Structure 1
Amino acid sequence: MKVLVTGGAGYIGSVVAQQLLRADHEVIVLDDLSKGHADAVLPGATWHQGGLAEAAEVLDPSVDAVIHLAAKSLVGESVEHPERYWHGNIVASLGLLDAMRDAGVQRMVFSSTAAVYGNPITETIVEDHPAAPINPYGASKLAIDHMLTAEAKAHGLAAVSLRYFNVGGASDGLGERHDPETHLIPNLLKAAAGRGGTAKLFGTDYPTPDGTAVRDYIHILDLAAAHLQAMEWVRPGTHEIFNLGTGVGSSVRQVIDAVERVTGRTVPVEEHPRRAGDPATLVASGQKARDVLGWAPQHTLEDIIRDAWAHL
Structure 2
Amino acid sequence: MTNDPFTPLVGQQQAIELLTQAVKQNRVAPAYLFVGPDGVGRSLAARCFVELLFSAQTRNLASLQNRLRQGNHPDLLWVQPTYQYQGQRLTAAEAAEKKLKRKAPPVIRLEQIREITEFLSCPPLEAPRNMVVLEEIQTMAEAAANALLKTLEEPGQATLILIAPSCEAVLPTLVSRCQRIPFYRLNISSLTQVLTQTGHEEILQHQAILNIAAGSPGSAIASYEQLQAIPFQLLQDLKKAPASYRNALELAKQIDQSLDTEAQLWLVDYLQQSYWQEWHQPEIINQLEKARKSLLVYAQPRLVWECTLLFMSGVSHRELN
**TM-score normalized by the length of structure 2:** 0.31
The structure that is helix-richer by fraction is 2
The structure that is strand-richer by fraction is 1
**TM-score normalized by the length of structure 1:** 0.32
Which structure has the larger Rg over C-alpha atoms? 2
